[in-house]
Amino acid sequence: MPNVISFMSYVLIVTFTPGPNNIMSFVMGSKHGFARTLPFRLGVAVGFGLVMIASSYLNLFLFSVVPKMRPVAEIVGGAYMLYLAARVLMSKVDAPNEDAHLTSFPAGAALQFINPKAILYGLTVTATFITPYYHSAASLLFFSALLGSISLASTSCWAMFGAGIQRLLGRYGRSLNIAMALLLVYAAASVSGVLPRIQALIRAARPGGV
């Protein structure tokens, strides 16, 4: 049996910290309201659960091919996050139906399969805390459903927070869009490998850097 405290600490920290799912939930919640983001959040939860179950069954195989797959996943995921950032940046606060398609169930589910953070998280959490101890289909389905439910709780919290500040959008809506777009750009730079390379170059450029 895995260390429950370590398992839950890791899961909650990774799931509730800012990422594409949470940022988009916040943006869509602030623009369309909490209820209208439900299809997107359910899509995230189902897609997330499918990624978890796939990771549980295939983590050993996938770890052997991740070095080959990772550059492709990083490029595709980073590009999609930049697309989302552009849509958020260009969206109009007073046009509530402009990006309504982004609140759909398919949009939430599809995002999980091109989100390197979700995929790599699935591989690590299942290989570290789940598959070493549990192998039955029922156990793997239970943990996948649990992780999907936690992701739903996370996106719901962010969507609720976004919906809660709707009254401020008339005054600060543009600033909010810019801030959220910049967070998505940061996430894209992180998952694509660009940010770590820049940080390495900065460290190397410092006196005594290696």
Please say whether the beta carbons of 51 and 113 come within 8 A. yes
Give residue 164's domain range: 4-205
Q: Specify the pLDDT at position 71.
A: 67
Report how many domains make up the chain.
1
In a domain, 104, yes or no: yes
**Residue 28 covered by a domain:** yes
Tens of pLDDT, residue by residue over 14-46, are 788 777 888 888 888 888 888 888 999 999 999
Q: Is the pTM of this model over 0.75?
A: no
- Are residues 173 and 93 in contact, defined by beta-carbon separation less than 8 angstroms? yes
CB 37 within 8 A of CB 103: yes
Residue 92, in any domain of the structure: yes
What does the DSSP assignment read for the chain?
---HHHHHHHHHHHHHSS-HHHHHHHHHHHHH-TGGGHHHHHHHHHHHHHHHHHHHHHHHHHHHHHHHHHHHHHHHHHHHHHHHHHHHHH--TT-TTTTGGGGSHHHHHHHHTT-HHHHHHHHHHIIIIITTT--SHHHHHHHHHHHHHHHHHHHHHHHHHHHHTGGGHHHHHHHHHHHHHHHHHHHHHHHTTHHHHHHHHHHHHSTT--
Does 210 reside within a domain? no
**Gap between the Cα atoms of 106 and 47, Å rounded:** 9
Per-residue pLDDT of the chain (210 residues), as tens digits, is 667 877 887 788 778 877 788 888 888 888 888 888 899 999 999 999 999 998 888 765 655 555 565 566 567 666 766 776 777 677 665 545 555 557 789 888 988 888 777 887 887 788 778 877 888 888 889 999 999 999 999 999 999 988 887 666 556 667 767 777 787 677 667 666 676 677 777 777 766 555
**107 near 101, Cβ under 8 Å?**
yes
Residue 8 counted as domain residue: yes
The answer to whether position 12 is within a domain reads: yes
